[in-house]
Structure 1
């Protein structure tokens, strides 16, 4: 057995002491009487309880909490919550310092950096020239979603960013004496301000709030982080492969950002067609502001004078063209810059960009009637102007100047266009089927719903090709169908207004057949987005089927092969110039069949999609619908990409990022650089099959994993579908119903409010609620029983699993993630929640099943990893979880007590004085566990 290495980070402990000391000062001076003392008392009592788990110690905690007024309890909870936020800052800041020290000591940088990755490639015999085809196929596309998992208000996120920045300044050893005192005072005041800022939203978030929340990260960190990522890549390329590599290797703009915010209408009645238009216009305004800001920077910098340089003829002609376009306006704008050619040009460019901004503001306000020939109306013109400046600077020996801020702006234009993020539209398949049925009935008298799959595919293929779309009486259509058609009208309008690339894909959730994809194309054809003219197919929309449940994953082969064998669909796909994208749902498959069946089903699905792609000669890209938690496909991005099946990534990956994941990755620019880098280098390593052969999976490993998945699914379904009282336990022994009142999203937590079925509750609320009650079983339930059944006293099978853990990234990643989730579980605390059940015997029975599987999982994972405790191979994470646990435990006891009080103490209006402190516990526990859904 390997033992846990002693993890001792003096810097981290010093950072924690500093921030905690400041919080203690705030509590003593600003909080109600005894709050600071109660916080410390609860923390000490829980530490003792963990060492000596007996009823007397538990009663001490309950006694401390007993009879606390609701207001005092709220303050105690807020103190715990703020401690977790400051602990997160201390850890993030220390990790950043550690990476900086690695850079200072040598150029190898951190593990997973560009330098580290390229050096590994070089040592593996990959030349600079061989890198180019890999880079040419690279496409890294994180997609922001609006799923309700971010418990922090935007105001709080901004305040935490300020604390991080101030704390970072204190890490500079050069700040001493008076200047250090000033910095400490600033940090203290910011923590005091955080204490006075309510972390619970007073009002529910609307879709517009969600759009604004997603846009928040771009000016905060992502614009500069994106530019820095490319600079770092270029520098590492030269460092590793030599200065000649800069001329041999072109680093394309392989990074893009996507969004579902304002486009995802599946189950969210608040997302309307006009919401989608507004989302894109707000995105366009955000990137236009950034372009204006960076033009101002260039105006300050490029103060070249006539006679000191000779611009190219092409540049001078462009300048004259702008003067002709702007007419008398140009005379006013250029007055101060006539002797400075680049400033002259940039002043005119700034005016044109301002005119674009004015148009956007009018359209956001609801007036789409205006146009302006003097504005930048397409990104290509703006990009061309920037490139002319770069080429002109290079022509007179100033390429070093051109390669700085100007090159950063050109790179951002390549990446963000005028749309910022490529928007995905999502809707559930039955909405399209119903709309198609109504249109075909109204236009052609066809009974579409009575047809079998072959008949539907035939009708759809023929109907899409009808020039001008189908003729039908719109008055015969239902309101739902009219709204569905309006979405496609908006898509056509936004492509004209924002740019052809403003949409990425139209995603169909609950895809069960090939006709579901063709239905979307028929609806798109009604608004000129697809069709056939003069024998030529055209298509301005990409469609992605989403396979979510275990059953869906098992039917991918049949659906895809049927779709890609249709001549009309293949012609439309070829006309679009797009890859076939296939989306895989992690959260619903895990909620449906458990973590083993989900993980293995997704692994096999990727193999199937790649095999189909090879068979039919159509390139495919996988879109991973990951969440923040392990039970929803979460975990470190770098390792997750490397754990994909060999030769299936092929340069391109797209995945969702949501809620607290966005905050922890992008709220600070330095961390954003690190996270983007780790994702991109993971993609590069996983895509090496593009330039050299890779070892395929061993068939016996696949067979073994298939057997484990079957055993795990059986165990999980036995608990969640065949255990009497299980769903009552979920609704009564977790805060799932209260989560819906937290105002953290516009989407309902349930598909059907009164339905207590496993299907009705959304996967996010499912995972969030289990995590709150420290029963993170969606991330591990079934693993222990499957390993136990598989080995069954057979040492050879145990040894085979140990070898698998050492040598197979997929299996190692699966068990490593399970270790993290198991470490966040606490069955003693979960027992406290189980006592909330209206049927005490059912509560004990269900809790006993979950606790028993937890013990089995821990025992067998440790047996296979050959470790003596969880996370032995990741001492830094283990230490982090231990630090949190002494503060998480009391919060859980408070939450369980508040749930009990809430059940017993509702006044005539259905409200309780305990609701506010209860909502605060949800925020605090989410901050402590660092994930929600």
Structure 2
């Protein structure tokens, strides 16, 4: 359902924006003074005039030219805060519109589970029990939270967002003048707090900060939403297919990279891995203990007034609670006993942790979360047997669901490292052990033979006193820390090890040997077994094309196949959206990913294993972003199979998961798309698939060549990029915990994908989200109207093609080549500037033209009224941030390298990332 509504229906949104913007304006005047307020207002009015073509951009630029840096910073802060408040207003408006549709009895909206259930009901005739059971075996939906340099907001800012959101909801529900006045004064207080809170930290984020930032989403939303959502989906599916063994494990299970991902981040070490795991464990235990304390207060039922089961009586009697006041309150005594055992568990797992609501005394710890869950099941069964199911289905049900999902570990911590590092470490270990000192010179066949031989024996390659290089000692230390976490907290704490830039079977086997070295892999009747699955990450265009061959060759190695069999025949493969895009451009990367999935699905089917894909999506379209529901439905047949993992990064995490209503909607969209992709035919091509694939093969190659001509073959392109974008400053400023490049070079290949995309986004070119597509399509169509008609037909029928063009239109709508020209002016070499920026502007025009030809729309936002409304509301407030950033970059590069200039640039980066929403 497209949210096409009359202008009157959007008036509440405009009212909210005016209200919040007006309060912010008063705060700016009161706190920063009349001159600053006047500068902000002048910039705002001029920006609106620019959008109405009533004045030139140079006018706004001139207003900032001679203003002291100290006076520019509060202006940047003001527009950054407005972007944040506009986001809240838009989220509330979407919430308001959905509620109106529900009350009006409209059909449920796509991406909602209600709509998905209706689609499944319509397809029930062909969805028998065996089909559903097979499709949803190993079902999993796992959003994996990752650290990201564009997400630098403080915890206080999140608290203000939450408070303002709740106040605006209250305001919507009341007409009482007194309460409205109270709410508005509270809004003023919170927005004042926001203004007086520094948006940016003084020091570069530490990994410990990033760990805490990732964990905050559990208290903010996941603990509340995930158990309830899992229970609902399980109940709905089992009511439709009561004989199907569906969702024996929780469906939604979040994960994390923060503290385990060391690819290109030298700051991750053994201590960081331990810290990440311990803080996650403490977060889970703190939640469970808090809920148990609340449950103990609530379950006051007396044995004199209710019937209990024998198992509940036994559990209460074993609690050791001899308080006379509780003598006839078996549920309280039972819960107190559970709290006592969980307290003991916490002391065993985290001896130094300060956890709330603990129970003193000597108690036997729970050996596993499953034993804790079993005790909670006893309470649940007794309540239901006593006619109190309504009580069992409240806090207790949520706690049982939380223990089932989060256990003692909270979320699996993924380990990740680059294959090149593994190769160097293995070579040094083999040399130390006297196996060979020529490992790195060996051909692939000999490497595989040597590595598989090592996987057949238990011997270690090192001793505790081995004299190793700093890099190898660090890597082994990290892996030993991971092994200690698994032994202490349990195998669920670390389940995956991802190999970046994986290109060969030896890349996979090297990590297996390293896992064996630290005790995370052992032999079972002569074959290796491990609770940690090694996952290849195929990133570049060439690696994606060869991914299926690499997987097939690995599965042909008995030792590797044994490891897959030990995971119930399931092998996960990760697909890299970022480096593939940086390597070949938007269309080529998207098609390489689709082709890779088709090939991987076929390879897995032929090998008799089950495939799970892990999508390394970023926030922006250039890194795989865009609406998750549409992206999942755009996967090829067989690519989802009931389960997927995907990364959640940057300011997108806050946009999706900062509070329960948002988290519920976004997790529901992931689940809805997963179910539909697994159980329904969503590709829609049928027998026409081979022809469609051939067309995309051709288009993708043309797009790749067009992209390469600019990015890889244009002399001076790197100089243009580093000058006409703030990429150099991204590395120089205190943004995120990892360097901007994997290596200290100026090579595009070595630059991390996040700074590559972020830089083009800040400068409003958005190049990674579209460049090359216009040339490819216009060349392929030529003067042949039949070819245009073919693409128009594919757009109507094929979710993949529709999603690619829709996401491209979304990102191009956020581009602004007029503002981009201001950044291009930073390039002093006139010939270089005109050559590169001329190519960009020409390709932009071509791409808009072919988009409108294929879709039949007359603008980039014609099919997306919500985006059009958002752009209309916020772009005049983005305009000043871009002009401020360009002015501050000029000063910084001219030698004004002061803390204030640096801070100003960083504030503009943060403000633009926030307002553009999916920028990293």
TM-score w.r.t. the length of structure 1 is 0.93
> In structure 2, how many angstroms separate the alpha carbons of the residues matched to 1:423 and 1:596?
32
> In structure 2, how many angstroms separate the alpha carbons of the residues matched to 1:742 and 1:106?
51
Q: Is the 8 A contact 1:5 1:872 kept in 2?
A: no
Q: Is the 8 A contact 2:544 2:592 kept in 1?
A: yes
Deviations 1:306-358 (A, max 9, x none): 132332222323334x34xxxxxx255x4432211111010111122223334
Which residue matches 1:191? Answer: 191
Deviations 1:469-525 (A, max 9, x none): 346685243222222222332222211211121112100111111011111111111
* 3-state secondary structure, aligned to 2:414: strand
Shift of 1:692: 13
Which residue matches 1:701? Answer: 692
Which residue matches 2:498? Answer: 507
Match of 2:341 among 334, 338, 352: 352
Matched, 1:99 2:98: yes
> In structure 2, how many angstroms separate the alpha carbons of the residues matched to 1:103 and 1:236?
20
Deviations 1:84-136 (A, max 9, x none): 11110000011112222333333854332222110121123356957555444
Deviations 1:27-72 (A, max 9, x none): 232222232332232223233334438xx72332233223222222
Moved more, 727-736 or 375-384: 375-384
Which residue matches 2:264? Answer: 267
Which residue matches 2:910? Answer: 923
Q: Is the 8 A contact 1:282 1:364 kept in 2?
A: no
Spell out the pairing of 1:252-263 with structure 2 (5 A cutoff).
Answer: 252-263=249-260
Match of 1:478 among 452, 455, 469: 469
Shift of 1:141: 0.8
Which residue matches 1:119? Answer: 118
Matched, 1:660 2:651: yes
Spell out the pairing of 1:647-796 with structure 2 (5 A cutoff).
Answer: 647-688=638-679, 695=686, 698-753=689-744, 755-796=745-786
Moved more, 605-614 or 223-232: 223-232
Matched, 1:804 2:794: yes
Match of 1:280 among 277, 281, 286: 277
> In structure 1, how many angstroms separate the alpha carbons of the residues matched to 2:115 and 2:324?
51
Shift of 1:364: 6.0
* 3-state secondary structure, aligned to 1:914: helix
Which residue matches 1:391? Answer: 381
Which residue matches 2:399? Answer: 409
> In structure 2, how many angstroms separate the alpha carbons of the residues matched to 1:691 and 1:213?
37
> In structure 2, how many angstroms separate the alpha carbons of the residues matched to 1:471 and 1:271?
22
Q: 1:308 to 1:534 in 2, by over 3 A?
A: same
Deviations 1:125-162 (A, max 9, x none): 35695755544442101111113221322322222222
Shift of 1:530: 1.8
Q: Is the 8 A contact 1:542 1:578 kept in 2?
A: no
Q: Is the 8 A contact 1:470 1:526 kept in 2?
A: yes
Q: Is the 8 A contact 1:509 1:547 kept in 2?
A: yes
Which residue matches 1:327? Answer: none
Deviations 1:787-827 (A, max 9, x none): 11001111000110111111110000000001011111111
> In structure 1, how many angstroms separate the alpha carbons of the residues matched to 2:630 and 2:682?
21
Shift of 1:250: 6.6
> In structure 2, how many angstroms separate the alpha carbons of the residues matched to 1:89 and 1:18?
12
Which residue matches 2:358? Answer: none
Q: Is the 8 A contact 2:805 2:851 kept in 1?
A: yes
Matched, 1:594 2:585: yes
Which residue matches 2:408? Answer: 418
TM-score w.r.t. the length of structure 2 is 0.94
Matched, 1:619 2:610: yes
Which residue matches 2:889? Answer: 899
Which residue matches 1:877? Answer: 867
> In structure 2, how many angstroms separate the alpha carbons of the residues matched to 1:692 and 1:635?
18
Which residue matches 2:67? Answer: 68
Q: Is the 8 A contact 1:514 1:559 kept in 2?
A: yes
Q: Is the 8 A contact 1:148 1:659 kept in 2?
A: yes
CA RMSD of superposed structures (Å): 2.6
Q: Is the 8 A contact 2:774 2:847 kept in 1?
A: yes
> In structure 1, how many angstroms separate the alpha carbons of the residues matched to 2:233 and 2:251?
12
> In structure 2, how many angstroms separate the alpha carbons of the residues matched to 1:275 and 1:261?
9
> In structure 2, how many angstroms separate the alpha carbons of the residues matched to 1:620 and 1:38?
57
Matched, 1:439 2:406: no
Q: Is the 8 A contact 1:99 1:109 kept in 2?
A: no
Q: Is the 8 A contact 1:107 1:115 kept in 2?
A: no
> In structure 2, how many angstroms separate the alpha carbons of the residues matched to 1:234 and 1:513?
39
Instruction: Give unpaired runs (5+ residues) of structure 1.
Output: 324-329, 366-370
Q: 1:95 to 1:234 in 2, by over 3 A?
A: farther
Matched, 1:492 2:487: no
Q: 1:803 to 1:691 in 2, by over 3 A?
A: closer
Shift of 1:273: 1.5
Q: 1:876 to 1:134 in 2, by over 3 A?
A: same
Deviations 1:878-897 (A, max 9, x none): 12112221111222122112
Shift of 1:6: 5.9
Q: 1:558 to 1:125 in 2, by over 3 A?
A: closer
> In structure 2, how many angstroms separate the alpha carbons of the residues matched to 1:58 and 1:568?
64
Shift of 1:922: 1.2
Match of 1:911 among 878, 891, 898: 898
Q: Is the 8 A contact 1:49 1:58 kept in 2?
A: yes
Aligned length: 909
Q: Is the 8 A contact 2:711 2:717 kept in 1?
A: yes
Q: Is the 8 A contact 2:581 2:588 kept in 1?
A: yes
Moved more, 700-709 or 683-692: 683-692
Which residue matches 1:520? Answer: 511
> In structure 1, how many angstroms separate the alpha carbons of the residues matched to 2:855 and 2:682?
33
> In structure 2, how many angstroms separate the alpha carbons of the residues matched to 1:378 and 1:882?
54
Instruction: Give unpaired runs (5+ residues) of structure 2.
Output: 355-360
Q: 1:489 to 1:221 in 2, by over 3 A?
A: same
